[in-house]
Amino acid sequence: MGTVILTWNIQWGRGTDGHASLDRQLAEARSMAQFDVLCLQEVTAGFNHLPGQPGTDQWGELADALSPEYTVIGGFALERHDGAHVQRFGNAIATRLPVLHVTRHALPYPPDSTPSMPRMAIEAMLQAPFGPLRVITTHLEYYSELQRLAQIDALRAMHAQGCARARQPSVLGPEPETGPFRPLAQTAATIICGDFNCKPDSTPKRLATVPFTQEPALHDAWEIAHGATPQPPTFGVHDRAGWTEPAYACDFMLISEPLKPRVLRVEVNSATQASDHQPMLLELRND
């Protein structure tokens, strides 16, 4: 058994039957594998009016459902205040691996005339059995390719800067060991996963894996595991309400060069109807 990472856009718990149930989705995720890391997109709080009527605080629901085995790390892309009523929309990482440190990144949000909303990425440095592992999960803009392209650039910069810090680690110097300047664990072993809101042959997806000048390249994990076999669709498979286009893949798992030899399997669960997206699994070799 290796280290299992699962990513899923859960549409605030809502399945194709219109009912919102995080418990159902967690059961589906566990049926795929006893995951070590679960990366979720479209987690909400305060959006009780959304179709399916999600709970008041889904980050809290996840923590309650997965405690004490998992640590739940939240990230709000959108936080809107209306007096005492607060609405939040974003991502989560649940992990049973030791958490070393966490960074939350606001992604670029350049002005565009299309509908859009702020986007973010959670970066969690975890202690995998084979060493430190950087896991980044995100949900890119749906309507604006201008924003998606800027957000892809930002994700690539996160990876490149993390690798550069691993090559040139900071030193404590005169600062106390117990203070905030204590050096953080760094690694070039990176996973970037989530809903990229673009097709496999799109410009943003192609640019995501363009080689770097110095840093280890990012690769599509599906392609490492399956070669030229196309990735199964992850959106529009079962939920066809108001959707006329063919289903397509838009949820991806990118891995850095050091992780390529560790890839054991990459799978898409095409059967579940617990969301409008299909969950995706990556297993890495521990030895």
Residue 1 scores a pLDDT above 90: no
Query: What does the pLDDT look like over 32-75, one tens digit per residue?
Result: 999 999 999 999 999 999 999 999 999 999 999 999 999 999 99
Is the pTM higher than 0.95? The answer reads yes
Closest CA to 109 of 101, 119, 96, 99: 119
- Describe the crossing of helices 58-66 and 22-32 by its angle, rounded to 10 degrees: 50
Q: Taking the alpha carbons of 63, 68, 70, 71 in that order, is the dihedral positive or negative?
A: positive
CATH number, domain of 19, equals: 3.60.10.10
Structural domain contains residue 204: yes
**Into how many domains does the chain fold?**
1
Query: What does the pLDDT look like over 163-202, one tens digit per residue?
Result: 999 999 899 899 999 999 999 999 999 999 999 999 999 9
Q: In what order do the strands lie in the sheet with 190-195?
A: 99-106, 120-128, 131-139, 190-195, 251-256, 218-220
Phi, psi of 96 (to 5 degrees): -100, 0
Residue-number span of the structural domain to which 124 is assigned:
3-169+183-284
Average pLDDT, the chain: 97
Q: Taking the alpha carbons of 6, 10, 15, 19 in that order, is the dihedral positive or negative?
A: positive
Structural domain contains residue 219: yes
Structural domain contains residue 177: no
Burial class (CB in 10 A: 0-12, 13-18, 19+), 170: exposed
243: confidence class by pLDDT, cuts 50, 70, 90? confident
**DSSP character at residue 279:** -
Kindly state the greatest CA–CA separation across the chain.
Answer: 62
